[in-house]
Amino acid sequence: MGKARSFENEVVQKHYNNAIDKLKARENGSKQDILDAVDVASVSQKWYVIHDYLDELITLAMYDEAKEFIHMSVGWYDKEGAQSGHVALLYRNLAVVEYRQANFEEAFTHLYIAKDKCPPTEKYIALLIKNDFGIIYYHLNDLKQAEECFLACYEEGKKILSKDDEDYHRKAVFVNNILINLGSIYNRTCNYFKAKELYSEGLEVFKSLNEFSGIANIYNNLGIIEASLGDYQKSKEHFEKSINLKEDGYDIRGLARSYVNLGECNLLLENYDEAIEKTQTGLTFAKNSTYNELITTALDILARSYEGSKDYEKAFHFLQELKIASDDYKSRLHKQKLAELQVQYKTKEHEKDKEIYRLQNIDLAQALTVRDKLFSVIAHDLKGPVNNVYATLEMFQDSPVLSVDELKGIISDLYFDTKATVFLLDNLLQWGQSHLNKDEIQPKAVNLLPIIDSVVNLNRNNIDHKGIILNNKIHSDLEVFCDKNVPSLVLRNILTNATKFTPSGGVITLKAKVNDDFTLVTIADSGIGIKPQNIKNLFVLDMNKSTFGTNAEKGAGLGLYLSYDYIKQAGGDITVRSVVGEGTEFTVHFPNNSDSFLKATEESN
């Protein structure tokens, strides 16, 4: 433990000696005994030795010793590959040490490390960490964020409580302390009725648990509320109860608060001598625990108390001390403000990193889906027709003599297989370009009419083969603003799809409509239609399953996905209307000009 400290104030000396005696009793005489105990303990036993020792170091405000011991403990765990939950708790303790010294930025950093190291199964440890985030927000006066943390912790904390749990007492104390933290927020925001309600509820719980430290803290908080309401006598009684309950304890900071609060209460009651005595005791505790905010409060109370007792020399002395401490405190406040901004920045950066990670995972999942679909297309839809051509040519080689009718049938089959394969290869090439060169969409004014005529001609054989009636009502020039490759690919795929699912003797109609921002090209068929539940999946790669056409035409299920992806990049859209048994209507929206293109692409981004 090192050299014992000595104090002029007898009350402080008494409490300090009591604390040291307890700590030494637990150490079995010395710090070296603790280190030896940790060295020989099993991994499961080691934590209990470390935790109890750390708890008392922090309670005694022996922060340097606590930090040294935490770093040593992390080293032990790293060497032995121990539970990450225990390592998370060590970093959480490091955060507690830092925020108790108003080093909020460092505390925040350690809490994030603790959060990252905490296993998903360790719900209690995760709650401890979340509660500490709330405490930091509270100290930084971000009361809304603090309240959100405490409320979430309290609700989650109640769910993990079980009287059958061997650690029930510790967890119940923790959950009740969250309730007290909420009360402190309402106290600070002058919602005294709500604060008293929570304190009263917490008081009953602590009494049932025989948790005297918790009871003492609540009496201190109730004293603050009564003083705020002007009932100084009742306030004084609460502070005295708090101190009496802490007499046998060693909560240095808690004693500092209660003594300074009692001193101020006596000042307001004009009991100057008692105010000086109690505040001096609190000041000594505050200095010993580096409770800087409380030090300035105590110096101010002492200056006013001596002024009230007409000892102006001592009043002036404490005013000078207050000025020095206040300047130092202002410097710390400035540092605290910087820390607050750093905390806010790190919080946003952490959330941004999480969002980037989430989006990267989505992109990766989508990329894997595309890859799987591509291999499926190559393995099945591309390989099948090529194998058919190969088998047919092999048959020619084995049986060169065929009748005219047999030859016509084979050539017809080869024609459709080859055409389907070329069409599929074209889609695959366009797909590859669209994914490798997404930033190379080059929009410009394009006349749709020759593109539509070309698309119709490409599908003419299939249309005529099925005896489909094609009504092309688009005859005038239609100028749109998009990449020149987009209309050809999109309209070709949709018209091919319409031909595929329209029965022999059916009707396909092409028409167009122009409005202020978009030209709408509609391809309507009298085909088999699409079920409502399937329409939403038409443009989703892993959901759009290829089906056979009315004449058993094959497809890869890639065309509509590619068309939708391509038109969205070009600032357009595709909408679908369909009735099962009556037909389907696809409408492609092409931007009319650069303004509508830019507006559409900005909105999609």
Residues 133-188 pLDDT 10s: 999 888 888 888 899 999 999 999 999 888 888 888 889 999 999 999 999 999 88
Q: Please give the pLDDT value at position 5.
A: 45
Q: Please give the pLDDT value at position 4.
A: 44
Q: What is the mean pLDDT of residues 443-472?
A: 86
Q: Give the model's confidence band at 510: pLDDT under 50 very low, under 70 low, under 90 confident, else very high.
A: very high
The reply to whether 414 falls in a domain is yes
pLDDT at 32 over 60: no
In this structure, is the dihedral angle defined by the CA atoms of residues 386, 390, 395 and 400, taken in order, positive or negative? positive
The reply to whether 515 falls in a domain is yes
The secondary structure of residue 530, as a DSSP letter, is: -
**For residue 158, what are the CA distances in angstroms to 96, 131, 161, 163, 171?**
23, 14, 5, 12, 9
Q: What is the mean pLDDT of residues 206-225?
A: 91
Q: In 3-state terms, what secondary structure has residue 512?
A: strand
Neighbours of 503 (CB within 10 A): 15
Q: Please give the pLDDT value at position 275.
A: 92
Q: Please give the pLDDT value at position 237.
A: 93
Tokens of 189: 């925001």
Q: Please give the pLDDT value at position 451.
A: 87
Q: Please give the pLDDT value at position 182.
A: 93
**In percent, how much of the chain has pLDDT > 70?**
69
- The C-alpha atoms of residue 404 and residue 407 are separated, in whole angstroms, by 5
Let me know: does 31 contact 47? Beta carbons within 8 Å. Answer: no
pLDDT at 215 over 50: yes
pLDDT at 543 over 90: no
Q: Please give the pLDDT value at position 325.
A: 73
Q: Please give the pLDDT value at position 414.
A: 72
The reply to whether 208 falls in a domain is no
- The C-alpha atoms of residue 73 and residue 86 are separated, in whole angstroms, by 10
461-492 confidence digits (pLDDT tens): 788 888 999 999 887 778 888 888 888 888 98
Q: What is the mean pLDDT of residues 67-92?
A: 77
Q: Please give the pLDDT value at position 588.
A: 94
The reply to whether 354 falls in a domain is no
The reply to whether 301 falls in a domain is no
Tokens of 184: 């402190």
Beta strands per DSSP E along 269-343: none
Tokens of 204: 């009953």
Q: Please give the pLDDT value at position 550.
A: 52
Half-sphere exposure of 487 (CA within 13 A, CB side): 29
Q: What is the mean pLDDT of residues 61-89?
A: 77
Q: Please give the pLDDT value at position 27.
A: 43
Query: Which residues contact residue 377 at a Cβ distance below 8 angstroms, ignoring those fewer than 6 apart?
Result: 424, 428, 556, 558
Closest Cα to residue 529, out of 581, 576, 453, 465? 581
Tell me the residue type at 603.
E
Let me know: does 252 contact 233? Beta carbons within 8 Å. Answer: no
Tokens of 558: 């890639």
Q: Would you call 385 exposed, middle or buried from its count of C-beta atoms within 10 A (0-12, 13-18, 19+)?
A: buried
> If you count them, how many residues does the chain have?
605
**Residue that has been written with the tokens 């291999």 in this structure:** 375
Q: Please give the pLDDT value at position 318.
A: 85
pLDDT at 596 over 50: yes
The reply to whether 184 falls in a domain is no
Tell me the residue type at 579.
V
Tell me the residue type at 140.
L
The secondary structure of residue 557, as a DSSP letter, is: S
Q: Give the model's confidence band at 10: pLDDT under 50 very low, under 70 low, under 90 confident, else very high.
A: low
- The C-alpha atoms of residue 299 and residue 318 are separated, in whole angstroms, by 6
210 vs 58, more confident: 210
Tokens of 520: 């709408």
pLDDT at 561 over 90: no
**For residue 435, what are the CA distances in angstroms to 371, 438, 485, 569?**
11, 5, 14, 11
pLDDT at 362 over 80: no
Q: In 3-state terms, what secondary structure has residue 93?
A: helix
Let me know: does 510 contact 586? Beta carbons within 8 Å. Answer: no
- The C-alpha atoms of residue 255 and residue 243 are separated, in whole angstroms, by 7
pLDDT at 287 over 90: no
37-71 confidence digits (pLDDT tens): 555 555 555 666 677 777 777 877 788 888 888 88
- The C-alpha atoms of residue 165 and residue 142 are separated, in whole angstroms, by 35
Instruction: Look up the domain containing 479 and give its range.
Output: 403-604
Beta strands per DSSP E along 515-549: 518-525
Give this prediction's pTM: 0.50
Query: Which residues contact residue 109 at a Cβ distance below 8 angstroms, ignoring those fewer than 6 apart?
Result: 346
Q: Please give the pLDDT value at position 240.
A: 92
In this structure, is the dihedral angle defined by the CA atoms of residues 476, 478, 484 and 486, taken in order, positive or negative? negative
Q: In 3-state terms, what secondary structure has residue 118?
A: coil
Tell me the residue type at 388.
N
The secondary structure of residue 440, as a DSSP letter, is: G
Q: Please give the pLDDT value at position 249.
A: 61
Q: Please give the pLDDT value at position 274.
A: 93
Q: What is the mean pLDDT of residues 77-90?
A: 73
Q: Which CATH number goes with the domain that contains 433?
A: 3.30.565.10
Neighbours of 44 (CB within 10 A): 10
Q: Please give the pLDDT value at position 522.
A: 94
357 vs 288, more confident: 288
224-250 confidence digits (pLDDT tens): 999 888 888 999 999 999 998 876 666
Q: Give the model's confidence band at 271: pLDDT under 50 very low, under 70 low, under 90 confident, else very high.
A: very high
The reply to whether 437 falls in a domain is yes
When mean pLDDT is compared across 99-113, 206-220, 426-440, 533-547, the lowest value belongs to 426-440
- The C-alpha atoms of residue 522 and residue 525 are separated, in whole angstroms, by 10
Half-sphere exposure of 56 (CA within 13 A, CB side): 21
3-state secondary structure 407-461: HHHHHHHHHHHHHHHHHHHHHHHHHHHHHHCHHHCCCEEEEHHHHHHHHHHHHHH
- The C-alpha atoms of residue 456 and residue 509 are separated, in whole angstroms, by 11
- The C-alpha atoms of residue 6 and residue 18 are separated, in whole angstroms, by 13
- The C-alpha atoms of residue 426 and residue 457 are separated, in whole angstroms, by 16
Phi/psi at 593 (nearest 5 deg)?
Answer: -150, 175
Q: What is the mean pLDDT of residues 194-223?
A: 91
What is the average pLDDT score of the chain? 78
Helix, strand, coil fractions of the chain, as percent rounded to 5 = 70, 5, 20
The reply to whether 438 falls in a domain is yes
Neighbours of 194 (CB within 10 A): 15
Count of the separate structural domains present in the chain: 1
Residues paired with 470 in a beta bridge: 508
